[in-house]
A and B are shown apart, each in its own frame.
Chain A
Amino acid sequence: DAKTTQPPSMDCAEGRAANLPCNHSTISGNEYVYWYRQIHSQGPQYIIHGLKNNETNEMASLIITEDRKSSTLILPHATLRDTAVYYCIVRGNYGQNFVFGPGTRLSVLP
């Protein structure tokens, strides 16, 4: 599975959009991009995933560049409860597990 690179930390004002970038320049054609978050020491929470098309659900939007070498997770209206560590993970169709990196610590500020 391809390696991902994320900034270690970001701040966002409450009510504004939070845009979290992820670089996955070695991604291959059958690998999906997943986003999870972890609040305090709770279990990681699934947010969204995609292959090459942009995806949206009730939590967030995922924008994947045309060359698939990077993606952005967008939380459209960040709240204080969105403060968490966000993980970008690349997993292939035959990838047996999710490999977690250090993630991005997002702080939503009042």
Chain B
Amino acid sequence: DAGITQSPRYKITETGRQVTLMCHQTWSHSYMFWYRQDLGHGLRLIYYSAAADITDKGEVPDGYVVSRSKTENFPLTLESATRSQTSVYFCASSETTHTEAFFGQGTRLTVV
């Protein structure tokens, strides 16, 4: 099916573990984004990518790593999860800088 999908939808992990959240889009959009959403903070940008092999930091990148070896995939890795990274994570993609972005359904991550 065409669209943007995130996996897993729900994840519980322990402090200190590495965890990777996956994002896949089928439109071959150039731009992809990772946001996190916490109560009281709204949506905040973690990382974005303008094309394969081009990534850049957003507002809250610390503790996260991204890669984009293929246009359609943009995984987000928490190298050593902390409780402060408990959040809902949203991935999005857009074709250009002046077209709309489409968001995935989110991954709810709990770090215990």
Contact = CB atoms under 8 A, between A and B. Distances in A.
A44 B42 CA distance: 11
A68 interface: no
Nearest to B104: A43
Contact of B45 (A34, A97, A101, A102): A97
A46 B97 contact: no
B98 A43 contact: no
Interface string B86-101: 0010101000011011
Contacts of A42: 105-106
23 contacts: A34-B100, A41-B37, A41-B88, A42-B105, A43-B90, A43-B92, A43-B104, A43-B105, A44-B43, A45-B103, A46-B103, A49-B100, A91-B97, A91-B98, A93-B98, A96-B97, A97-B45, A97-B48, A97-B58, A98-B101, A100-B35, A100-B43, A101-B42
Interface residues of A, number: 22
The prevalent SS among residues of B at the interface is strand
Interface of B: 31, 33, 35, 37, 42-45, 48, 50, 56, 58, 88, 90, 92, 97-98, 100-106, 108
Given A44-B43, A100-B42, A100-B43, A95 B106 contact: no
Contacts of B101: 46, 98
A100 B38 CA distance: 13
A80 interface: no
A69 B102 CA distance: 26
